[in-house]
Amino acid sequence: MNRRDFIYQSNLLSAGLFLSPLISNASKIVNPTILLVSGWQDVNIGDIGHTPGLLHVLETFIPKATIILWKRSRGEEVKKLLNKNFPKVNIIYGSVNQDKDVENPEIMEAFKKADLMIHGSGPSLVGADNLASWIKYTNKPFGVFGTTLENPSKFHQEILQKASFIYTRETKSIEHLNKVGIAGKHIQFAPDATFFMNIRDDKKGFAFLEAHGLKDKKFICVVPRLRYTPYHKFNANNNGWTPEKIKQVEETNEKYKEIDHAKLREAMIAWVRETGNSVLICPEMTYEVGIMDELLVNPLPDDVKPFIVKRGYWLPDEAASIYAKAHTVLSFECHSPIIAAANGTPCFYLRQPEDTIKGQMYYDLGFNDWVFEMDQTTGKQIADRLREVWKDYGKAKLKLKVSMDQVANIYKNTAGNVKQVLDKKV
């Protein structure tokens, strides 16, 4: 036995797990323990928002559960954010190797304690290796909550076929699962868990508003975005992209960046000139701070520019506080409108066709009038719809409430199904 294997097996022994190839728990569950794998990256407040959103779903609808968070990203700021808002949640880290083994004994101890594993919201089965390790070392149930499952790979299909529940964040993912023979009543629609994010930083957010003269419901927020996120510019090894992929991304972004943002500027100009109120330009991802001036500020008419305020990158709790005070949020990104909706603020999703099938969830929840398919949309249409909102804000707020009540009911029902999975486990 080599040193690595000796250390690994010693860790298993120290956790009291090595004597059995499968971890199981035959005792009746009274207060369940749930292992949640989530937290894919920290350069995007939407990706950060998945985790507190699902933690809030679980604490609301399965209040007796103890939650262990197996967090994939390791940003210290986000860890502090979660510790502050969910002090009872134990956060653990640990990678999975190609053999689906983990070397951190905390993970193996979590496998022993947990009655159920849940894969959190995300763009795909990002935590597939985490689930595969759970399958290897336990015979306990697992499921997926609020995840896009577009064209699942063979590896992902093998995992999903063993899941006790699969909740996709848009109905199109269910179609993709059916195409590969994965079907059943255990597959349902449950939107991105960011819809249930309840964390805020009013102290920091409101201080920013006061410092920049932004008054309650007297400003809109706008969020820029390129057609493709330029991961090759801020991830190691060009994000693993080939030169051909990088060329395609950069050419597409260059082609559409002015076309798209000119449409958003038209709505900004109408808002400023007709209401006399301000516009806050803010980011959902880190790179968007660097494109604000080029695409949304510099081309504006001189009479509009004095009404523009910019915000650097932030965390989702501060964004939530500011979106709560905004009149409306207009965003090319998918999750800022969700954070706004979770805080009672009307929101427009300016959907670029390259932004995956996740945007289908807006239609699934009845937000049709507030989704704009950018290749079929004019700036005038966005401005006209914004004008409708500010002229009958009560109607817009009521419309939002109907959709958000639907979200809460979906979470309640799907969480109830999760409880049934736990109750059946003996």
Same domain (yes/no): 192, 206 = no
Same domain (yes/no): 355, 411 = no
Averaged pLDDT score across all residues of the chain: 93
C-alpha of 423 from chain center: 28
- Among the listed residues 111, 148, 62, the one whose alpha carbon sits nearest the alpha carbon of residue 357: 148
Average pLDDT over residues 48-74: 97
pLDDT of residue 234: 85
**399 in any annotated domain:** no
Same domain (yes/no): 146, 221 = no
Calculate what percentage of the chain has a pLDDT beyond 90: 89
pLDDT of residue 29: 67
- Among the listed residues 344, 335, 334, the one whose alpha carbon sits nearest the alpha carbon of residue 316: 335
Average pLDDT over residues 2-7: 38
**402 in any annotated domain:** no
Average pLDDT over residues 243-257: 97
CATH label of the domain that carries residue 130: 3.40.50.11720
Average pLDDT over residues 2-12: 38
pLDDT of residue 235: 83
The band of 19, judged by pLDDT with boundaries at 50, 70 and 90, is very low
**397 in any annotated domain:** no
**154 in any annotated domain:** yes
Same domain (yes/no): 415, 381 = no
d(CA 289, CA 419): 42
Same domain (yes/no): 212, 352 = yes
Same domain (yes/no): 146, 244 = no
Count of domains observed in the chain: 2
Spell 126-157 as b/e; 16+ CB within 10 A means b.
bbbbbbbbbbbbbebbbbbbbbbbbebeeebe
Residue 272 has pLDDT above 80, yes or no: yes
The band of 39, judged by pLDDT with boundaries at 50, 70 and 90, is very high
Same domain (yes/no): 22, 163 = yes
pLDDT of residue 43: 87
Rounded alpha-carbon distances, angstroms, from residue 122 to 62, 143, 144, 409:
21, 13, 10, 21
**83 in any annotated domain:** yes
Residue listed under structure tokens 């939650």: 67
Same domain (yes/no): 8, 53 = yes
142: number of CA atoms within 13 Å, CB side? 29
**272 in any annotated domain:** yes
d(CA 349, CA 194): 15
d(CA 50, CA 62): 18
- pLDDT tens across 176-185, in order? 999 999 999 9
**87 in any annotated domain:** yes
Same domain (yes/no): 50, 121 = yes
Classify the phi-psi angles of 146: left when phi > 0, otherwise alpha if psi is within -120 to 50, otherwise beta.
left
Same domain (yes/no): 138, 247 = no
Written as six digits, the tokens of 160 are 């999903």
- pLDDT tens across 191-237, in order? 999 999 999 999 999 999 999 999 999 999 999 999 999 999 988 88
Prediction pTM value: 0.92
Residue by residue, DSSP assigns 162-202 as: T-SEEEESSHHHHHHHHHTT--STTEEE---GGGG-----H
pLDDT of residue 30: 72
pLDDT of residue 22: 52
- Residue 155: domain span: 3-196+407-424
pLDDT of residue 424: 81
Written as six digits, the tokens of 397 are 């707020």
The band of 269, judged by pLDDT with boundaries at 50, 70 and 90, is very high
How many other C-beta atoms can be found within 10 angstroms of the C-beta atom of residue 35?
Answer: 25
- Among the listed residues 348, 40, 357, the one whose alpha carbon sits nearest the alpha carbon of residue 191: 357
* DSSP label at residue 63: T
Rounded alpha-carbon distances, angstroms, from residue 69 to 106, 117, 292:
11, 10, 35
**400 in any annotated domain:** no
Average pLDDT over residues 106-119: 97
The band of 97, judged by pLDDT with boundaries at 50, 70 and 90, is very high
Same domain (yes/no): 243, 139 = no
- pLDDT tens across 230-242, in order? 999 988 889 899 9
Same domain (yes/no): 138, 256 = no
Average pLDDT over residues 272-295: 97
CATH label of the domain that carries residue 384: 3.40.50.2000
Average pLDDT over residues 159-174: 98
- Amino acid identity of residue 397, one-letter, is K
Residue 12 has pLDDT above 50, yes or no: no
d(CA 193, CA 198): 11
